[in-house]
Amino acid sequence: MITPTACGVTSEVGRLRTVLLHRPGAELRRLTPRNNDELLFDGVPWVARAQEEHDAFAAALTERGVEVLHLDRLLAEVMAVPAARAEVIAEAVDDPRLGATLRHATSAHLEGLAPDDLAAALIAGVAHDELRGGRGLAYELMARGEFVVPPLPNLMFTRDSSVWVGGQVAVTSLAMPARDRESALTAALYAHHPRFAGVEQLYGAHLEHLEGGDVLLLAPGVLAVGVGERTTAGGAERLARRVFARGLAHTVLVVPIAQERATMHLDTICTMVDVDALVMYPAVADHLQAWTVTAGPELPDAADTTELSVQGPQPFLIAAAAAMGIDRLRVIDTGLDPVTAEREQWDDGNNTLALAPRLAVAYERNTVTNAALEAAGIEVVAIAGSELGSGRGGPRCMSCPVLRDPLPTA
């Protein structure tokens, strides 16, 4: 029997103990030159190599004492729970393309699957010619290879669909249609798996858009939230009210970022590598701004209506240092020329996963950024990512920390 275990994250760099990953599988084999743009990939990855790279990533974490949880395995266990099955099947068929007849047929098909097979179908999708009992006008007009239930190739970026703040988990609201079903799976996981029994969900997929790649836990009680292509100002505001009401944070820094694919999340621009240091894309280091949000004079409540105090803007580095209670927040100087900086930022050079203070996982191909990190005293665990990176995500994107050690108090 699986019993609840400790969960909670209060920083980006506390010693990582448990992490949620998803090994890419059959869903990547659904990508074609015809659909890869719609499914948010820059190309069609070599699936076997992507799996080898992901296995090496997981092994590197395990070798350093990190417990690795696999999303698909946990989901298969949860699919034995009737309430969880009903929730995710309802979400899978909630698609206006289908119509009532095909929606009913698809539900019946999914309901008839064993837990392992259901989990696999929800992740890899169900194509027209795979659907048992398909019927109705929508079914007849579909092409043979069209998806009745679309695949979720971005599920390997587990950071985005949930993020832990203290001992609670925010199941996020994903902005892109190709990803909106991911949150239903993570919500079911946290609600029904015994591993997470009793865990409160801080946010929900029905709320304003908010993605985990835009949320940085700079220090205990201090969050930075990027607002751009994927996270809205309304999402940042809602999260701020909720973390204040539940005593999970005292300050939220709201950081506008360019609404571009290269900077889709705040963690594509900067990530923490020490308690007082981050690696940052040089092109934005000097002009990134932040608004400082704190609770207003009223006591925070759970109604999401508490007035907030908003101050700024200020340079992000100054606002962050003040909120963290330190003299300054160090930026690792990569010394990159503009062309190299743009290349390595595109290749997720700033998207590192801290395993502990001054210890971070990074893609091996970003050689100049990694050398600068090493020169600054940051040990780099370099991993391959030539195929994993085709979905635009690095080690931080591919990992959802579930448990980190608290940082030592001064």
- Give pLDDT, residue 269: 87
**For residue range 371-402, what is the model confidence (pLDDT) as tens digits?**
989 999 999 999 987 777 666 678 999 999 99
- Give pLDDT, residue 2: 46
* Mean local confidence (pLDDT), 115-142: 93
- Give pLDDT, residue 300: 59
Percent of the chain with pLDDT over 90: 68
Are 199 and 336 members of one domain?
yes
Identify whether 400 is a catalytic site residue.
no
> In the listed set 116, 151, 186, which residue is the last one of a domain according to the structure?
151
Residue 244 lies in a domain: yes
Are 218 and 203 members of one domain?
yes
Are 139 and 259 members of one domain?
no
- Give pLDDT, residue 395: 92
Least confident of 48-62, 223-237, 288-302, 354-368: 288-302
Reported as a pLDDT band with limits 50, 70 and 90, residue 16 is very high
Percent of the chain with pLDDT over 70: 90
Determine which one of 7, 270, 397, 400 is catalytic.
Answer: 397
**For residue range 242-276, what is the model confidence (pLDDT) as tens digits?**
999 999 999 999 999 976 655 578 998 889 999 99
Residue 33 lies in a domain: no
Residue 332 lies in a domain: yes
Q: Is residue 366 over pLDDT 90?
A: no
> In the listed set 130, 151, 172, which residue is the last one of a domain according to the structure?
151
Are 102 and 162 members of one domain?
no
Are 375 and 258 members of one domain?
yes
Are 383 and 240 members of one domain?
yes
- Give pLDDT, residue 345: 47
* Mean local confidence (pLDDT), 168-179: 91
Task: Report d(CA 378, CA 9) in Å as an integer.
Answer: 21
* Mean local confidence (pLDDT), 56-66: 97
Reported as a pLDDT band with limits 50, 70 and 90, residue 61 is very high
Residue entry with tokens 């190739």:
153
Q: Is residue 1 over pLDDT 70?
A: no
Are 147 and 160 members of one domain?
no
Reported as a pLDDT band with limits 50, 70 and 90, residue 344 is very low
**Whether the Cβ atoms of residue 53 and residue 384 lie closer than 8 Å to each other:** yes
Q: Is residue 135 over pLDDT 70?
A: yes
Are 126 and 193 members of one domain?
no
- The domain of 212 spans 154-404
Q: Is residue 87 over pLDDT 70?
A: yes
Q: Return the higher-pLDDT residue of 269 and 169.
A: 169
* Mean local confidence (pLDDT), 314-326: 95
Are 298 and 213 members of one domain?
yes
Residue 144 lies in a domain: yes
- Give pLDDT, residue 109: 96
Are 245 and 347 members of one domain?
yes
- Give pLDDT, residue 247: 92
Residue 352 lies in a domain: yes
Are 390 and 273 members of one domain?
yes
Residue 292 lies in a domain: yes
CATH code of the domain containing 90: 1.10.3930.10
CATH code of the domain containing 161: 3.75.10.10
Least confident of 5-9, 12-16, 69-73, 123-127: 5-9
Q: Structure tokens of 322?
A: 């003040």
Task: Report d(CA 193, CA 72) in Å as an integer.
Answer: 12
> In the listed set 151, 175, 191, which residue is the last one of a domain according to the structure?
151
Residue 248 lies in a domain: yes
* Mean local confidence (pLDDT), 129-157: 91
**For residue range 281-308, what is the model confidence (pLDDT) as tens digits?**
777 777 899 999 998 776 656 667 778 9
- Give pLDDT, residue 348: 46
Residue 22 lies in a domain: no
- Give pLDDT, residue 387: 79
Q: Is 6 exposed, middle or buried (0-12, 13-18, 19+ CB in 10 A)?
A: exposed
Q: Return the higher-pLDDT residue of 334 and 291.
A: 291
* Mean local confidence (pLDDT), 120-141: 93
Task: Report d(CA 231, CA 280) in Å as an integer.
Answer: 20
Q: Return the higher-pLDDT residue of 42 and 314.
A: 314
Are 341 and 209 members of one domain?
yes
Task: Report d(CA 65, CA 355) in Å as an integer.
Answer: 10
If phi > 0 it is left, if psi is from -120 to 50 it is alpha, else beta; for residue 99 that is: left
The number of distinct structural domains making up the chain is 2
- Give pLDDT, residue 385: 79
Reported as a pLDDT band with limits 50, 70 and 90, residue 3 is very low
